[in-house]
Amino acid sequence: MLRAFVILVVLVAGGARAEPPQFGPYFSGQMLVAAPTVDDPNFAETVIYLADHDAEGAFGLIVNRPLGRGPAADFMVGLKMTPPDDVDPTIEIRLGLGGPVERDAGFVLHTNDYQTEGTAMIRGAVAVTASLKAVKDISRGKGPRRHLVILGYAGWGPGQLENEMRRGDWGIAPYDETIVFDAEDKTKWRRASDRIGIPM
């Protein structure tokens, strides 16, 4: 996981590319909600924060597949990090599975009141950071107001997500901070499904 925090920089930076075909419409910053008919175990009853969606594809993080939670200091030791001297013993880290791609890649999905090295995909009230410094700051009580630490991501190539949406696999719901960040993972899919409609 230490190595994998560089992946977001690669995803965002990319490099010079030929102009891709246009698909659209695009829904960066909103919630992608699996339809009841989706039976793929990677995505059944998932809610995905769609961090980036354009003609080149889409990048999202599942927000309702918890892997565990525990004291920040223990979490950092598990990452082979030395907890800072001023780690707050009352702070817990919630770890979730963000998708089937690069499951050793780590991301922090968080409110945009915090930014540091590796922060990108800032969409309104939310940002994604791929930096272990964010984990250290969280452990010291100096991180974002709300956050999820996530392993792996969901990714689509050009036009792939649009095709799946036309097939009826996904609905779009407006971003909801409570649904994305609260700990009631078992009800997120139902709550997000109730909000499917015209994006805000």
Residue 200 lies in a domain: no
The reply to whether the predicted model has a pTM over 0.75 is yes
Tell me how far apart the alpha carbons of residues 96 and 104 are, in angstroms, rounded to a whole number.
12
- Virtual torsion, Cα 109, 114, 120, 123, nearest 10 deg: 70
Q: Which residue has the tokens 């993972």?
A: 185
Confidence at 11, pLDDT banded by 50, 70, 90:
very low
Residues 142-169 as b or e (16 or more Cβ within 10 Å = b): ebbebbbbbbbbbbbeebebbebbeeeb
Residue 20 lies in a domain: no
pLDDT at 200 over 60: no
Q: Is the confidence at residue 199, as pLDDT, over 80?
A: no
Give the chain's domain count.
1
The answer to the question of residue 18 being in a domain is no
Find how far residue 12's CA is from the centre of its chain.
14
The confidence score (pLDDT) of residue 5 equals 46
Please state, in angstroms and rounded to a whole number, the distance separating the CA atoms of residues 194 and 10.
35
Are the CB atoms for 97 and 103 separated by under 8 Å? yes
End-to-end CA separation in angstroms for the chain = 35
Q: How far out from the chain centre does Cα 45 lie? A: 16
Give the domain extent around 57: 3-10+29-193
Question: Which of 20, 47, 79 shows the shortest CA–CA distance to 196?
Answer: 47
Mean pLDDT in the chain?
Answer: 87
What pLDDT is recorded for position 122? 86
Confidence at residue 7, expressed as pLDDT on a 0 to 100 scale: 43
pLDDT for position 19? 52
pLDDT at 101: 96
Give a yes or no: residue 199 inside a domain: no
Q: Which amino acid is at 21?
A: P
Task: Please report the pLDDT score of residue 16 as a whole number.
Answer: 42
- Is pLDDT of 120 > 90? no
Note the pLDDT tens digit of each residue in 21-56: 555 588 999 999 999 999 999 999 999 999 999 999
User: Widest CA span of the chain, in angstroms?
Assistant: 52
Say if 189 falls within a structural domain.
Answer: yes
How are beta strands 47-54 and 57-62 bridged, if at all?
A: antiparallel
- State how far the Cα of 119 lies from the Cα of 134, in Å rounded to an integer: 9
Residue 185 has pLDDT above 60, yes or no: yes
pLDDT band of 117, cuts 50, 70, 90: confident
Kindly state the DSSP code that residue 153 receives in the 8-state scheme: E
- Asked if the structure places residue 21 within a domain, the reply is no
22 is a domain residue: no
CATH of the domain at 76: 3.40.1740.10
User: Does a structural domain hold residue 134?
Assistant: yes
Question: Which of 109-113, 130-134, 137-141 comes out lowest in average pLDDT?
Answer: 130-134
